[in-house]
Chain A
Amino acid sequence: MAVQTASIGVKQRRRRGGLLREEALWGWLMQIPNVVGLTVFAAGPLIVSFGLIFTHYQMITPPTPAGLDNVNELINDPLFPTVVANTAYVTLISVPLYMLLGLLLALALHQKLRGIGIYRTIFFLPSQMPPVANVVLWLWLFNPDYGLANWVLDLLHIPESTWIQDPVMAKPSLIILGIWGIGSGMIIYLAGLQNIPEELHEAASIDGAGTLRRFFNVTLPLLSPVIFFNLIIGIIQTMQSGFTTVYLATSSGQHQATDSGGPDNALLLFVLYIFHKGFIDFDMGYASLLAWVLFIFILALTIINFRLAGRWVYYEGQLRG
């Protein structure tokens, strides 16, 4: 009897072990496409582009070792500080601006207002316009001679601007275009607002908290994870964004892709510069270095943000000490 039970136990254990092994086998089997994709289109290229940093490679002849030549080129590149400054300018202004506008809009559209669905649609839809169509329209609106933007300035008796062709106004015009896209952030805030239980607001009201108090002590803390998410995504996207816009703005009417960076290189953003180096000059080594520098900037900012998050992001489920 005892022997029998033991043998059953062993058999069961063996059977369970076999099942587990079989499950693991299936698990990996079904991951094959994903693993191939991660290797061939993510990890592999990441390693190769790192390797390319230390080569001269113009694509006509095989890559030759270059030591730290590309790093020296970067240090002495007069355009590099411009590129960093331009990208920082756009990121530092547009990320907080879009976040604030998106949040204000979401708060307004969270009210029980007649026709709220129509308002939400109006503010959300422009963010979904195909980027190229968006830029084409924007180049038309900001046309220095016939654009609607200058007509509005005329109506307000403000001097006209040449917008994209003006070194001072070029980046602000780019940022203005982006305001059209705040709808996607707004919709995420709105979903976050709808997740905040009504009772919390009621409880705060009963305790005598006014509208502002309720906003700062109930809404804002509970919304902070969503704000944090929008911040991270905003920075990651903005630092590598604007390619379509600046590429078309600087190549419009040129008949081919040029290495123009706009007036006084005012529109030379990071990704556009990498594109110029890699796909117009075919300087793959230097372009790889630039891409890695951008990658490290983004990574560093994201890590810093996560470090700082503990101070202001409130997670409801989190245990507090």
Chain B
Amino acid sequence: MAVRAQESTRTAAAGSLVSGQRFRTRIGHLLLHAVLIAFGFIFVVPFLWMIVTSLKVSGTEFTYPPQWIPHPIVWGNYRQALVDVVPFLTYFKNTAIVAAGVTIGDLLTASMAAYSFARLRFPGRNILFMGTLATLMLPNIVTIIPTFLLMRYLHWIDTLLPLIVPSWAGGSAFSIFLFRQFFMTIPLELDEAARMDGANPLRIWWNVIMPLSGTVIATVAIFDVLNSWNDFFTPLIFLNTPGNFTMSLGLGQYVVDHGGQYYNLQMAAATVMTIPVMLLFFFAQRYFMRGIVTTGLAGR
């Protein structure tokens, strides 16, 4: 009897210990929620403020204290910002041409080089691979002046070519690296079987390896499109006439020309630039994250 009583007290003690721990975890989680929500506000509010401002009647964006719900809601701002004030539709067309050109060139030439690095033995391979990766360290600003002089010599200034052509020459080292990492996970037997059938490496790359590489192709393509969409510096250097501007440059130029006024139109344009990126993230999250994480963990 006494033994039993002792036992039951022990169980009770253990039980209260467990529930105490659980209680502490719950308090911890509540605190964490509070902190994350508070901090999350800082991250969300500017974004909301951008959208709210974009829907206001010109002038009312300056009311104080801030008006959180625009009254009336002016969807026309978007039309004005995109068509009437700034020819964003033209900029969009230019950006689409650049993005398509860059993506195709990068996918073709980077994956070809990556196949050669991953599968073929040739003298100088390691040195060439190191050299390729070293370009990741090379600041854009060091090469931009000679590249500018070259493009001027070719009479390519104020055309979209300087933005597209470099990606047809091996693409970015980042893409080559991503492709190579992926190719190395594809079983070698596939190559060997194709070689037995008399296929040369070019055919194996195109007919055997590339059809299996959908995920990495998607990852690289997303990054190429995002870079073309986001890049401000390169278009600023190479483009002069508004008719040739990309979206980023067009929005930037709008700020240079009209900074300090028409914030509602500026925010409408900024929203239009941001929404597609968010959509891309939500619909292609898997590929999106893979690129970021692969390069990040390459440091290990």
Contacts and interface: CB of A to CB of B under 8 A. Distances in A.
A128 B40 CA distance: 16
B283 interface: no
B114 to A, nearest CB: 9
A80 interface: no
B166 interface: yes
Contact of B278 (A42, A125, A136, A229): A125
A119 to B, nearest CB: 5
Interface in B141-176: 141-150, 152, 166, 168-171, 176
Interface in A98-157: 105, 108-109, 111, 113-114, 119, 122-123, 125-126, 128-133, 135-141, 143, 145-146, 148, 151
B187 interface: no
A248 interface: yes
Contact of A23 (B109, B121, B202): B121
Contacts of A89: none
A3 interface: no
A232 B136 CA distance: 12
Given A26-B200, A136-B251, A288 B145 contact: yes
Nearest to A140: B263
A239 B62 CA distance: 36
A257 interface: yes
Contact of B201 (A30, A48, A123, A129): A30
B121 to A, nearest CB: 6
Given A37-B166, A113-B33, A188-B297, A240 B139 contact: yes
Nearest to B273: A133
Contact of A44 (B139, B146, B176, B251): B146
Contact of A225 (B257, B270, B300): B300
Contacts of A275: 141
B139 A140 contact: no
B252 A244 contact: yes
Interface in B206-238: 226, 229-230, 232-233, 236-237
Q: Which of B116, B145, B149, B248 has the most chain A CB atoms closer than 10 A to its own CB? A: B145
A26 B145 contact: no
A35 B170 contact: yes
B170 A46 contact: no
A33 B170 contact: yes
A148 B33 CA distance: 25
Contacts of A279: 148, 237
Contact of A41 (B139, B147, B278): B147
A235 to B, nearest CB: 11
Contacts of A140: 49-50, 53, 263, 266-267
A30 B116 contact: yes
A24 B39 CA distance: 56
A251 B249 CA distance: 13
A145 B66 CA distance: 12
A307 interface: no
B293 interface: yes
A219 interface: no
Contacts of A64: none
A308 to B, nearest CB: 15
Contacts of A236: 137, 139
Interface in A268-297: 271, 274-275, 278-279, 284, 287-288, 291-292, 294-295
A7 interface: no
A240 B140 contact: yes
Given A48-B149, A111-B29, A136-B267, A252 B255 contact: yes
A298 B263 CA distance: 37
B145 A151 contact: no
Interface in B52-89: 53, 61-62, 64-66
B123 to A, nearest CB: 6
A95 interface: no
Contacts of A299: 137
Nearest to A191: B293
A145 B261 CA distance: 12
B251 A132 contact: yes
A27 B170 contact: no
B274 A274 contact: no
B270 A133 contact: yes
B61 A146 contact: yes
Contacts of A49: 142-143, 145-146
Contact of A30 (B120, B139, B298): B120
A40 B169 contact: yes
Interface string A56-87: 00010000000000000000000000000000
A180 B46 contact: yes
A226 B113 contact: no
A42 B143 contact: yes
Given A139-B259, A251-B256, A46 B143 contact: yes
Contact of B259 (A29, A128, A131, A252): A252
B196 interface: no
A315 B150 CA distance: 44
A187 B123 CA distance: 38
A226 B300 contact: yes
B142 A294 contact: yes
A254 B256 contact: yes
Nearest to A44: B146
Given A140-B53, A253-B256, A33 B168 contact: yes
B17 interface: no
A54 B223 CA distance: 38
5 contacts: A24-B123, A28-B116, A122-B40, A130-B274, A288-B145
Q: Identify the 10 closest CB pairs spanning chains A and B, nearest first.
A: A229-B299, A252-B259, A37-B169, A27-B122, A34-B170, A253-B259, A188-B296, A37-B170, A27-B120, A45-B146
